[in-house]
Amino acid sequence: MSVAERTLIGAPVDRLEGREKVTGAAKYAYEYEAANVVHVVGVAATVPSGRVVRVDAESALKLPGVVAVLWHATAPRLAGDTDPELAIMQSDRVSYRGQWIAAVAAETYAAASAAGRALRIDYEEAEHDSVLTADHPALYTPETVNPGFPSETSQGDVDAALAQADVVVDETYRTPTEHNNAMEPHATLAVWDGDDTLTVYDSNQGVRPVRQALASAFSLDPENVRVISPHVGGGFGSKGTPRPNVILAAMAAKVVGRPAKVAVTRQQMFSVTGYRTPTIQRVRLGATRDGRLTAIAHDVVEQTSMLKEFAEQTAVVTRMLYAAPNRRTSHKLARLNVPTPSWMRAPGECPGAYALESAMDELARALDIDPIELRIRNEPELDPESGNRFSTRNLVGCLREGAERFGWKEPPSRDGRWLVGTGVAASTYPARRQPSQAIARADADGSFTIGIAAADIGTGARTVIAQIAADTLEVELERVHVELGDSRLPPAMIAGGSMGTSSWGAAVVKACRGLRPRLGGELPVEVFADTEEDAGGVEREPVSSHGFGAQFVEVGVDSDTGEVRVSRVLGVFACGRIMNAKTARSQFIGGITMGLGMALLEETLLDGRFGAFVNHDLAGYHVAVNADVPAIEVHWLDEFDEHVNPMGAKGIGEIGIVGTAAAVANAIHDATGIRVRELPITPAKLASLI
């Protein structure tokens, strides 16, 4: 048995960069230094719709340390096909409150901030519309939803099946606007070398999209743009695509002829870095008396911006999770004077599963069938959407294993003022991979270097890539060095969609397998690998690949105040082969924790009169903290899915959040008999009903 087989894949290896991070040696984007740097602050629009008539910069330019003021009359022109969210200061148009319509460059951040406040901006304000409603007159059906699914699907005759069903659940569920709020704000340092060579240090989930966006916007050869991002302090999807800070830093650096730094403030992150769209979801389930689903309908209303279309795939999870001969899903959008929504951990599956899994719990109660048994009875043999077989599917195993470990199901009880109940929900997330490239090099000193333009956003990517390489090469982990987060390295899939490890690992395995036969020759020797042609897996047979899981939750609800306390959570998952037990457990727990916040705390409030997010900081936008998080227990079932990648692994970064909010909502209903169908479930909502 090899060293790798004994100790590496699946082993709870500590993060290789852990010491750098806890000692402060790890550098993040804003911490990089450049000589003669200027600090740049974006200035936000204070109206939700209209045009900028004039920017009076005279008083700002007189302040000490101010170098330049940019607005649409003075900013450099970008290429005409620049992403509308990135095309800052290219016209006088204001599409949402908080949009960057000017910027100030100064010798210090404090000076730039003061000058930004001193700018006098005149607007011609127009009528605005910022509030999403189920019957909004401007609703339309997009052609596709993220990342390219058809917006509508239909099988059988849903209306007839619902009319003939023994039992029907027909309810509407709502989720609010939510913001990603990673620890590290979006930040960029831009350095020009002449007019055609640009280096940026940036906080992102993938250096290649940033390089391409900069090259396109400034009409540069992509080879002359270098993006460096070795350490990233979280993203949750908000850094999966380039953001205006990248463009602003490069723009300001070009104007002043000096390196430029931009750090998005916590408040500005609520406007210019994406968010999860609010949703209004009508779910209809029809079933026989013995709990067989005969019809599923899931219709979603959500929002996008005036600048560009983003349609979250909220109902897509309903297309494959349960069997039913008659099924229909749809998405409708309203274009509003709001920032453009984007990815947030498990986009689509997360809010969609909240509605579907809440409705399944309501159906179980209407039928007087155990919620786990109801799900098992509707387990499909093939993917209901595509008709393909599943590469592996072990949802039933997760439900049964979780039921045994959790002690399912204790009846609801009362402990003084506290009403105690339990809930369960299923989770799923697609298991996919994208083409990536990597190099593997053996050096004369006995060490190995893996190079790949992957991103480690705090998930432990470096460590897992090193484990995969060491396992494939059958060498000690200490001999492997990983280089990532640099656009000069071979291109790779971003850290998103739970595809990072799957995509990167496949390229690393291919490179290391190519290197092994050459280790007996002259060193150093390097092998390049590209998975473009084999990214579909080991076979060409079409299969449906997903991870699965089940979350179990116990809550206590104060019968006087409506306060909810989650006392224990269990998650059981089936996600292929686990690469690192320690980092995997952290990812599952992190997803569950974020799901607790979604269920009970997170909500960005919009004042429709002004088109403004009013709780745009961490004092008003509440996320789960230590006091909100109970002991979370995580287990997984051993699997190996050869269809996804040569490691047999599936992505795990997002599945932990998917079913958690529904499990909490179901537990609250179990405890109180009250069904709250609008997240978050706050004491105010419960106290008025108890």
The residues carrying an active-site annotation are 654
Q: In what order do the strands lie in the sheet with 225-228?
A: 66-71, 100-106, 38-44, 260-263, 187-193, 197-202, 225-228
d(CA 170, CA 215): 50
Q: Which helix (H) or strand (E) holds 284?
A: strand 279-287
What letter would DSSP give residue 275? -
Residue 155's contacts (CB-CB under 8 Å, 6 or more residues apart) are: 325, 326, 327, 328, 384
d(CA 584, CA 588): 6
Tokens 């917006």, residue? 151
Joined tokens for residue 664: 């909490």
Q: How far is CA 298 from CA 92, 153, 375, 489, in A?
A: 40, 10, 17, 43
Q: How far is CA 400 from CA 63, 81, 85, in A?
A: 67, 52, 46
Residue 173's contacts (CB-CB under 8 Å, 6 or more residues apart) are: 279, 281, 283, 354, 355, 358, 359, 677, 678
SS3 558: strand
Q: In what order do the strands lie in the sheet with 153-155?
A: 153-155, 326-336, 293-305, 279-287, 167-175
Residue 307's contacts (CB-CB under 8 Å, 6 or more residues apart) are: 84, 85, 95, 96, 340
Instruction: Find out whether 564 and 681 touch, Cβ atoms under 8 Å.
Output: yes
Q: What are the residue ranges of helices labelled H in 419-554? A: 461-473, 500-515
Of 44, 178, 46, 42, which Cα lies nearest the Cα of 611? 46
d(CA 305, CA 138): 12
Concatenated DSSP letters for 231-246? -----TTTTSS--HHH
d(CA 280, CA 228): 40
CA atoms within 13 A on the CB side of 285: 30
Joined tokens for residue 608: 């429709």
CA atoms within 13 A on the CB side of 212: 9
Cα–chain-centroid distance for residue 531?
24
Residue 689's contacts (CB-CB under 8 Å, 6 or more residues apart) are: 672, 674, 676
Phi, psi of 236 (to 5 degrees): 55, 25
Of 304, 211, 280, 260, which Cα lies nearest the Cα of 76? 260
Instruction: Find out whether 3 and 475 touch, Cβ atoms under 8 Å.
Output: yes
Joined tokens for residue 154: 């239909």
Phi, psi of 178 (to 5 degrees): -135, 145
Q: Is the peptide bond before 147 cis (omega within 30 degrees of 0)?
A: yes
Of 250, 243, 214, 253, which Cα lies nearest the Cα of 340? 243
Phi, psi of 548 (to 5 degrees): -135, 160
